[in-house]
Amino acid sequence: MALQPTALTPMEQFILFGDSITQQCFSPTQTFSFGAALGDAYIRRLDVVNRGLSGYNTTQALRALPFCIPKPEQAKVRFLALFWGANDARIAGSPGGPSQTVASEEFRRNLEAMVRHPCVTAHRNIRIILLTTPPIDERRNSKDDHDHYPGLGGTLRRTAMNTAAYAAAVRQVGRKLGVAVLDIHSAMLARAGHSLSDPNSTDDGTPLLGSMNAEANNTLQSYLHDGLHFSGEGYRVLFDEMMAFISQTWPDQMPTSLPMVFPAWDDETVWKQDEEWKEIKSKS
């Protein structure tokens, strides 16, 4: 097809919708940027859009969703990644700012409502990716929390076990709705040397990696700079897992399988056709 800019449709989108872990995924302060790497992988094929909302839980996210997803006539969404739970999993009643806690049952309902939201379903052939709530490291997270809220005492605002329960809830939603799940919680724990025999169980008889009851794990800690948010290494794991996940789930959607929206500069066939098209137009 000849190059006709007036006939080009807007670049389709790969939307990242999540909390602070998503919001920070383009940060230049990290040694590796997940958002930039994903955008580079899909450059000239899909626009990677960051809709991370720091501090939000899924109840707040549902209210924001209509303002974060474009209408089909504005832009087509090819991928929607939903990455929630880090704030929902905060221990109920824990001190330090307003409550962010959302009970696991309501958390599941909120995720289901996102997947079924009219603003999402309006996009035909949208590919939804549910990411499990990632693991935490209680030691690092406790230190960071106490630095910000000195009056906490020995209180933990998040625990590895409770967070694992929210990761399990995401898997449950995926199975119920038939939506693809990228299990970053299990992937990070496995890379750190801990693999649950049943990832949907929060207790297989051994202390969960990241908890105070387990030995400190240098690998897991290297993924979480404050015990909660991803370091550059954590974002590198996320990128590697995301690309492997897309390759396995939708191989035809890998960057190398998608055409560029604008042709390559050295695509002689297209540019020759374009010259022919302009010549025809000049004679008409």
**Residue 167 belongs to domain with CATH number:** 3.40.50.1110
Helix (H) or strand (E) holding 193: none
Amino acid symbol at 119: C
Please state, for a pLDDT cut of 90, what percent of the chain lies above it: 75
Q: What is the pLDDT of residues 129-153, one digit of tens each?
A: 999 999 999 999 999 888 888 877 7
Q: Is the pLDDT of residue 3 over 80?
A: no
Q: Is the pLDDT of residue 113 over 60?
A: yes
Does residue 2 form part of some domain? no
Amino acid symbol at 145: D
Tokens standing for 272? Answer: 């020759």
For residues 98-120, average pLDDT: 97
Which pLDDT belongs to residue 5? 47
Which pLDDT belongs to residue 249? 98
Does residue 233 form part of some domain? yes
Binning the chain into helix, strand and coil, the percentages to the nearest 5 are 45, 10, 45
Does residue 123 form part of some domain? yes
Does residue 150 form part of some domain? yes
Q: Is the pLDDT of residue 1 over 50?
A: no
Largest CA distance in the chain: 82
- The full DSSP string for 99-119 is -----HHHHHHHHHHHHH-HH
Which position has the higher pLDDT, 6 or 155?
Answer: 155
Does residue 1 form part of some domain? no
State whether residue 58 is helix, strand or coil: helix
Which pLDDT belongs to residue 7? 42
Instruction: List the helix and strand counts (H, then E) for the chain.
Output: 11, 5
Does residue 91 form part of some domain? yes
Does residue 3 form part of some domain? no
Q: Is the pLDDT of residue 2 over 80?
A: no
- Order of strands, sheet of 77-83, starting from the edge strand that comes earlier in the sequence: 46-52, 12-18, 77-83, 127-131, 180-182
Confidence band for 154, pLDDT divided at 50, 70 and 90: confident
Does residue 171 form part of some domain? yes
Specify the number of domains making up the chain. 1
Which domain does 132 fall in, by range?
A: 8-283
Q: Of the candidates 89, 92, 130, 135, which has an alpha carbon nearest to the alpha carbon of residue 111? A: 130
- CA atoms of 164 and 178, how far apart (whole Å): 21
For residues 215-230, average pLDDT: 97
Mean pLDDT for all residues in the chain:
91
Q: Is the pLDDT of residue 6 over 50?
A: no
Which pLDDT belongs to residue 137? 97
**Cβ-proximal residues to 214 (8 Å cutoff; 6+ apart), any chain:** 160, 194, 206, 207, 208
Confidence band for 269, pLDDT divided at 50, 70 and 90: confident
In terms of pTM, does the model score above 0.85?
yes
Which pLDDT belongs to residue 10? 74
For residues 43-53, average pLDDT: 97
Confidence band for 99, pLDDT divided at 50, 70 and 90: very high
* Helical residues (DSSP H) of the chain, grouped into ranges: 20-23, 34-41, 58-68, 104-116, 118-121, 138-148, 160-177, 184-191, 218-223, 232-249, 268-283
